[in-house]
Structure 1
Amino acid sequence: MTTTDVAADRPDLSGRAAGTALTLLYDSHARDLHHYLSRRLDPTAADDLVAETFLVAWEQRARYDPARGPARAWLFGIATNLSRRHARTEANTLRAMALAAGRATVAEAADATSASRVDAGRAARELAAGLAGLRAEERDVLLLVAWAGLRPAEIAVALELDARTVRTRLHRARTRLRAHLSREGDDG
């Protein structure tokens, strides 16, 4: 990693060039943030939360410490906190989706494509219900790994946690989700 790479990944947001640095961060990370947020919420909410993430980053630029970690992790931390606030009802929404999908009537599968769609729909319902059953802290860590592609060390920076805590939450989330999916598979 060159000095330029480090400067781009850990910019000085406290100086006169903070606006330019934040613009470069937007250009580098807005798409990934949107992808992560749209998978957690919906694309319209993701649009708003990406904009809000950079607004918060601008307002809190003096609090960013490049020595603590890369700006990408810091931005994902802001986005995760905003999504928590936005999605206080996320677990209820996932449960409602699982219930609504469970009530939908499925016509007899006429071919392999239809059967695949039915199986995918069932798997999506089971996954949604499993995610809804996780504690919010565990769900955040799991989705930051699965949907944002962050490593546990980056998540620790993003959520201001100890790396061991992140690994523990990730392990618990995976274990609980596997157990839920296994139970659902046994019932199906």
Structure 2
Amino acid sequence: LVGVMFMVVIGTFAWASLKIVHKIPLTDALVMVVVTCVTVYSDLAVAVVVGVIISALAYAWNAASRINARIGTSKEGWKVYRLSGPLFFGSTTGFTDLFDPQSDPEDVVVDFIDSRVVDHSGLEAIDALASKYEAAGKRLHLRHLSPDCTRLLAKAGNLVEVSVLEDPDYEIAVDYGHTFEEAEPEKTA
């Protein structure tokens, strides 16, 4: 029976994966090695759980580094931080580091058009940021929150006290059958 099990293992192991181990991301290679080792020393069910946990932690680490902001100025003279990337427990430190309440103008807008507040830690990060701006005598405004983010803020109640700007109404562009002519291609010498 042991011999049959060894033959099954040898036959089902993806030996070709050893050839590409240096070409795949390090975290994937680590998961592959750890799952194989845990399977040998324990059992497959435990190995799958360990692999899922390692993959989830690696994903959270990578997602945490994706939050960033493009900084600009609105027509009112307000400083606008246009965020991109998720705001969750793993990215709150990076989120906080993006802002400078001391040197920012009176009104600051955090635009979430390319971002989302994912969890309670994100709400706490917004609340802490609002407190810093309030202590500096400045106002923090939020814009383009998704409906689920707005519901999170509503559930937070008194936790988050910032001004949520109303999103602008966007009109639908209507094409009444007009066609655009292509410009003649530039001639190169």
Which one has a bigger Cα radius of gyration? Answer: 2
TM-score of the pair, normalised by structure 2: 0.30
Structure holding more strand per residue: 2
Structure holding more helix per residue: 1
TM-score of the pair, normalised by structure 1: 0.30
